[in-house]
Structures are given as C-alpha cells and as structure tokens.
Amino acid sequence: MSKEKAIATPTLTNYYLKKYGFSFKKSLGQNFIIDVNTLTNIIEAAGITKEVGAIEIGPGMGALTEQLARHAERVLAFEIDSRLEAVLSDTLSDYDNIEIVYQDVLKADLKTIIEQTFSEGQALKLVANLPYYVTTPIIMSLLTSDLPLDSLTVMIQKEVADRMAAKPNSKAYGSLSIAVQYYTNAHVSFIVPKTVFMPQPNVDSAVLHLNYRQTPPVEVKDESFFFEIVKAGFVQRRKTLRNNLNRHFKGVIEKEKIESIFGETGIDGTRRAESLAMEEFATLSNALFIHQ
C-alpha cells in the first residue's frame, strides 16, 4: 500500500484495521480521524513550522502524527495502547523524525522525556486528538506541571471546549473556565463534525487553542485557596455567592465576616458566581485568605 497518500482516509484506515486485526477499545475513547482537511486545519491552528518540536498524545493510527512529521522539526508522541505499536511502525515507517513512547501520558516523566527529545530552548507545541473521557485531567496536568510548552492545540468534545474558553455571564462559564484561563489564553479555533471520525462519536468536537501565559492575569495570595473559592462559588450554580460561601466556610469563617468582606471588596453577595470575572474572584479570595 502506497504511503504517498495521507493515512487519514476511510480507505486507508480500513486497510490498516483489517491488516492488523485491530478493534477499537471503547474504554480508551478511540476515535480515529479520517479527514485530511481537518488535520491541515489543526496544523495551521497550532502554528506548526519546521522549527517547532511537536508533542502528541494518542496518535492512534498515526493520521495526525504523519501531518506533524511533515510540518514540524521533530515529533514526540505518547500512546497508551501498546496494540498499536505494530500499526504505527508500519504507517509511519517513512518518517525518521518521530519518536513514540508507549506510556500513559499522565504517568510518564514528561519533563525528562521532553528534555531528552528536543533541543534546549526549542519552541514546543502540543497537538492532540484527546479521548473525551480523560480530556480535563490531561489538560489540567499539562497546565500545572511547569513544562516548557508554548501552546496546546487539542481536539476535544465541543461542550468541554466551550466551557474552557467561556467568558463570564454565559452558561458555559464555570470553575473550569477560570482554571484554564488562569494559565492560558483560550479560544475555540473551529468546530469538527462527528463525521470525520471512525468510529463516529455521538457529539461534535472542537479544536481548542491554549497559549500559555508568562504570568497569571491576576495576583493571588495563595493559588490553591483561590481555586478553592472559585469551586465553592460554583458548587450550586443557581445559588448566590453568599449562600455558597457561607455553606463552604461553615464553622470556619463566620457569616458576619463573609458579609463584611463583601462590603470591603464591593462585590455583591447576591450575585451568582457566573457573573464574576476572574479578577473579582481573586479580590474575594485575597480578602478571605487571612480569615480562614
């Protein structure tokens, strides 16, 4: 079978599935891309050039890996399913700038592997078609692990992408939006219909582009406490900020103290969390921090 054609077609994907007797594992959320235009758009959204080192999670049959190898200087991919080793060594045999590590990316020593694979100071971009079931744990791990990455460009469930990029006063806005946007500038690059996958998922996907910030957009006295306040604010979305914080700090901070902090900060306790910008959450958490 000629490899001049891209892997990401229904014909070639079926060819390799049959050749290796490969069956999809639902537990791993495997959905392979069978549309080259989608991959071209992902490469463009990620800003992949010949100077860039690319990192991929979940190469599957190598459809995106192949396009990354054609456009990037080097590709490092992490694949949890060792059954794909024979498939990938075949589909990607034409490329000498790919290294595949058969490990769970959440358990791998990413920092060390990245240092061993790429040149020091090289621009590194992570690009991936992430399994739906583990999207948030992977993204939050990447954002909080102090890795030398410039950006993440990930294809994920559209609903989750919308939540991560959401602004205040929208239904999608919540603690996840603030957590992601504390570390990155987030925007949805484009929507991906479920028809470009094999097998087809039940919902559409979106490509989310996350550019790492040099410093967070707000100053907080304690990061973990800041995120605790954000989560507490959203624990019951329809309740007021006052109700949620009183419930969260019951027996720790008196209601009167919380009320006085609303007065000091100028934040109305009758508002719902979805109306607060990140800056307001930072102000609130800094004021509450000394009283916990």
pLDDT tens-digit series, residues 14-52: 999 999 999 888 778 789 999 999 999 999 999 999 999
233 is in an annotated binding site: no
Buried-state track 182-195, b at ≥16 Cβ within 10 A, e below 16: bbbebebbeebeee
| Residue 241: CATH number of its domain | 1.10.8.100
* Calpha distance 77→86 (Å, rounded): 15
211 is in an annotated binding site: no
The rounded distance, in Å, linking the Cα atoms of 148 and 171 is: 33
What phi and psi, each to the nearest 5 degrees, are found at residue 218? -135, 150
The Cα–Cα gap between 9 and 188 comes to 25
- pLDDT for 173: 98
Residues 34 and 163 in one domain: yes
Q: Which of 169, 185, 212 is the last residue of a domain?
A: 212
At position 67, the amino acid (one-letter code) is: Q
Question: Is 31 one of the annotated binding-site residues?
Answer: yes
Phi, psi of 145 (to 5 degrees): -100, 5
Strands (E), 87-150: 98-101, 124-129
Does residue 227 sit in the same domain as residue 207? Answer: no
β-strand partners of 125: 54, 151
Residue 229 sits at the vertex; the CA angle it makes with 183 and 269, to the nearest 5 degrees, is 125
* The dihedral formed by the CA atoms of 34, 38, 42 and 48, expressed in degrees to the nearest 10: 80
Is residue 248 over pLDDT 50? Answer: yes
4 within domain boundaries = no
What is the residue-averaged pLDDT of the chain?
Answer: 95
Q: What is the pLDDT of residue 25?
A: 83
Q: Which residue has the tokens 């891209």?
A: 6
Mark whether 150 and 25 lie in a shared domain: yes
Beta bridge partners of 128: 154
* Domain finish residue from 177, 212, 247: 212
What pLDDT does residue 78 have?
98
Tell me which residue range forms the domain holding 118.
10-212
Task: Provide the pLDDT for residue 1.
Answer: 40
217 in a domain, yes or no?
no
Instruction: Looking at the structure, tell me whether residues 141 and 238 fall in a common domain.
Output: no
C-alpha 38/C-alpha 47 separation (Å) is 14
pLDDT for position 5: 76
Does residue 123 form part of some domain? yes
pLDDT of residue 170: 97
Answer yes or no: do 145 and 20 share one domain.
Answer: yes
Strands, E assignment, 107-217:
124-129, 151-157, 184-192, 197-198, 205-212
Determine the distance from the C-alpha atom of residue 165 to the mean position of all C-alpha atoms in its chain, rounded to a whole number: 11
Q: Which residues neighbour 92 within 8 Å (Cβ) at sequence distance 6 or greater?
A: 62, 65, 66, 69, 98, 100
State whether 227 and 109 are in the same domain.
no
Inside any domain, residue 150: yes
Boundary of a domain, candidates 190, 212, 234: 212
Give the 3-state secondary structure of residue 110: helix
Task: Encode pLDDT of 57-116 as tens digits.
Answer: 999 999 999 999 999 999 999 999 999 999 999 999 999 999 999 999 999 999 999 999
129 annotated to bind ligand: yes
Domain shared by 182 and 231, yes or no = no
Same domain as 145, residue 232? no
H-run or E-run covering 247: helix 241-248
Question: How does residue 117 score in pLDDT terms, banded at 50, 70 and 90?
Answer: very high
Q: pLDDT tens digit string along 171-225?
A: 999 999 999 999 999 999 999 999 999 999 999 999 999 999 999 999 999 999 9
Helix, coil or strand: residue 21: coil
Q: Given pLDDT bands bounded at 50, 70 and 90, which one contains residue 4?
A: low
Residue 236 within any structural domain of the chain: yes
Q: Are residues 135 and 193 in the same domain?
A: yes
How many domains does the chain fold into?
2
Cα–Cα distance for residue pair 178/37, rounded to 1 Å:
32
Residue 44 shares a structural domain with residue 170: yes
Q: Is 3 inside any structural domain?
A: no
Asked whether residue 27 falls in the same domain as residue 90, the answer is yes
Domain of residue 99, CATH code: 3.40.50.150
Tell me if 2 is assigned to some domain: no
Contacts of 224 (CB under 8 A, 6+ apart): none
Q: Specify the 3-state DSSP secondary structure of 288.
A: helix
Assess if residue 69 is contained within a domain. yes
What residue ranges in the chain does DSSP mark as E strands?
32-33, 53-57, 74-78, 98-101, 124-129, 151-157, 184-192, 197-198, 205-212
My answer on whether 100 and 177 are in the same domain is yes
pLDDT digits (tens, 9 = 90+) for 151-163: 999 999 999 999 9
